[in-house]
A and B are shown apart, each in its own frame.
Chain A
Amino acid sequence: MTHINQAEILNHPLRVTRTRNISWAWLGVLPFFVFAIAFLILPASYLVVGSLQDTKENFTLANFADMFQPEILGAYWLSIQVSVVTAVGGGLLGFMLAYATILGGLPRWVRNALMTFSGVASNFSGVPLAFAFIATLGRTGFITALLKTAFGLNIYEYGFNLYSFLGLSLAYMYFQFPLMVLIIAPALDGIKREWREASENLGATSWQYWRYVALPILLPSLLGTMILLFGNALGAYATAFALTGGTFGLATILIGRQIRGEVLQNPGLGYAVAVGMVIIMALSVSIYSWLQRRSERWLR
């Protein structure tokens, strides 16, 4: 009885209201637009305008020309290296984990546990993450000490340094691979059991199934998500700053120092560096959504 009444209510008056008073729906999304304009469009325009002005607010392209100096190029290069390494590393690790738990026939609770962990860990970054790593893998960290006393292995003597490229990459991996797990899970859910069975039935080996069916279907999502991870690492600032105290020359750290007026002495140049980052990010997100659309077409 009740569901019939609900259906009537849902079908009738609401539909009428929606067509007649279409403007009310806009009110609901208004905060979003206000937010987007205030914190995305305006700052971005501010950046672009600033990057095209000299110190006397005259139009110039000099800031972009000045970016080709070793310190800035080096910062970009380092940022890109850290991002690529952690995107590919975290991406592969996350993919393998997700694949094993979703398609590997493991019990359901393993999947639930991994998903919950990933939801938490993918958001665990910044100062707490840096602190966690210092407390475990730092010079006097818990695991460093454990390895030393239990196995006589002093990792710092073997060249490990938490405050280096490797250490920073490890810390980034901590939020990179869970993000991969979260984003790739739906794509893996879309892989039908029948595809594997059909391919086995037609005589294909496991490798051939992978090579010709599963991988091509997953590749757009896989690459797309790695690009997203790349952007995620590229924009990270707090983790690196907290871990290395701002001495590690990433592009974001350079921008941070510029904002505080520690280097460069030229706000316009700082804006130009930031615009460069925005462009790289925008490119990655575009490629990501293009690849995502491609794979969705197949999986629907």
Chain B
Amino acid sequence: MAFLELDNVSKSFGQVEAVQNFNLQAERGEFVSFLGPSGCGKTTTLRMIAGFELPTAGTILISGNDVTFKPPQKRNTGMVFQAYALFPNMTVADNIGFGLKVAKKPSAEIKKRVAEMLALIKMEKFGDRYPYQLSGGQQQRVALARAIAIQPQVLLLDEPLSALDAKIRVALRQEIRAIQRELGITTVYVTHDQEEALSLSDRVVVMNNGCIEQVGTPFEIYNFPQTEFTAQFVGTLNRIGATVRDVANGELLIDSQRIVTAQKLEGVSNGTAVTLSIRPERISFAADGRKPNGLNVRVENITFLGSIVRVQVRAGDNVFLMDTFNNPFLKLPDIGDVVEITFSKEAVLVLKHA
């Protein structure tokens, strides 16, 4: 049985349906991210797990116990907030020990645990500092230590890195993941940053408009987006208009040129207009040997990005991008050239329409 379970959870604020029919089953020790644009209901869902909001429908179970209507104090979750929510009147050590103090643990035990936590976040020397004497990144590490100190069953993080500089963000997210692995703590991580979600998570829940779009491993989410939204939100997306030529054989037409998809065509008939998605990195210039999908396009723009060269091409009304590795011994086409590009059948995804 799943350790953290959300069953058909919904939440509305008056007319606003912030979260609709949210289902999730997270295993013990799993790192799950909620990924989606601002306002899609990530925070609201997290706050329902923590107990700060009550669902309008559905149930929430932690370790088999129904906590749907329990107050936050009774849930044993540890939350790290987006803004610095450290208690400003307490030292770092007192902040970390707060949960144990209010649980009336003996002070020797608190001291020991605080020392462990300070070591865990590599801030042994900072126990006596006040929050206003710390950098943003240090404050978030203390916030993490404070949340973990009470040995919560579930760790909840709401965009904990969004207020930090890019460099610190990357370093700290690795640190969070390492600590999470070390402690084996079931974690829900909210972010609007796809790179963060993909690089950290065991599984990603892509959300849009209060609904789940797709749940899967980062690999699945990136390589096999099931909806147009997911494909568009995660990674760079080429959206290409096409018409169905032959449902049975998976044949499509782009700008009257025939291509094939490995995907089964369902719910469409010959002549139906569809939208395809192909990742830029799955397209390459055609070498001599014929590949199943070849497409003649005109080169419109070339952008040198270092290890990668991004080429913008046009086929009829469709403009899209292809990424090729930078190879100093390969001559790139010139702008205006007509070239043949190629991609595998598997790279062509027909997007579900919402």
Contacts and interface: CB of A to CB of B under 8 A. Distances in A.
Interface residues of A, number: 21
A200 B83 contact: no
6 closest cross-chain pairs (CB), A and B: A194-B85, A202-B99, A298-B88, A204-B102, A200-B72, A216-B89
In this complex, the member of B51, B71, B72 whose beta carbon has the largest number of chain A beta carbons within 10 angstroms is B72
Contacts of A213: 87, 89
B132 A202 contact: no
Given A192-B83, A203-B103, A204-B73, A197 B52 contact: yes
B285 interface: no
B85 A217 contact: no
A202 B102 contact: yes
Given A202-B98, A203-B150, A217 B73 contact: no
A201 interface: yes
A201 B102 contact: no
B98 A194 contact: no
B89 A201 contact: no
Nearest to B130: A298
Contact of B77 (A201, A204, A297, A300): A201
A74 to B, nearest CB: 41
B146 interface: yes
Main secondary structure of the interface of A (DSSP, over half): helix
A217 B102 contact: no
Contacts of B88: 217, 298-299
B236 to A, nearest CB: 32
A208 to B, nearest CB: 5
Contact of B132 (A200, A208, A298): A298
Contacts of B87: 195, 198-199, 212-213, 217
A200 B102 CA distance: 10
B72 A197 contact: yes
B81 interface: yes
Contact of B83 (A194, A202, A203, A216): A194
Interface in A237-254: none
A192 B143 CA distance: 15
Interface string B147-168: 1001000000000000000000
A40 B90 CA distance: 41
A197 B89 contact: no
Contact of A194 (B77, B81, B130): B81
Contacts of B29: none
A248 to B, nearest CB: 42
Contacts of A60: none
B280 interface: no
Interface string B204-234: 0000000000000000000000000000000
Interface of A: 192, 194-195, 197-205, 208, 212-213, 216-217, 297-300
A191 to B, nearest CB: 10
Nearest to B102: A204
A298 B98 contact: no
A198 B85 contact: yes
Nearest to A217: B89
Interface in B55-104: 71-73, 76-79, 81, 83, 85-90, 98-99, 101-103
B50 A201 contact: yes
Contacts of B72: 197, 200-201
Given A204-B98, A298-B132, A198 B81 contact: yes
A216 B89 CA distance: 7
Contact of A205 (B73, B90, B146, B150): B73
B81 A205 contact: no
27 contacts: A192-B85, A197-B52, A197-B72, A197-B79, A197-B81, A198-B79, A198-B87, A199-B98, A200-B51, A200-B52, A201-B72, A201-B77, A202-B78, A202-B99, A202-B102, A203-B99, A203-B102, A204-B99, A205-B102, A208-B102, A212-B87, A212-B90, A212-B98, A212-B101, A217-B88, A298-B88, A298-B132
Contact of A202 (B52, B89, B146): B146
A197 B85 contact: yes
A108 B50 CA distance: 27
A23 B50 CA distance: 59
Contacts of A203: 73, 76, 99, 102-103, 150
Interface string B38-58: 000000000000111000000
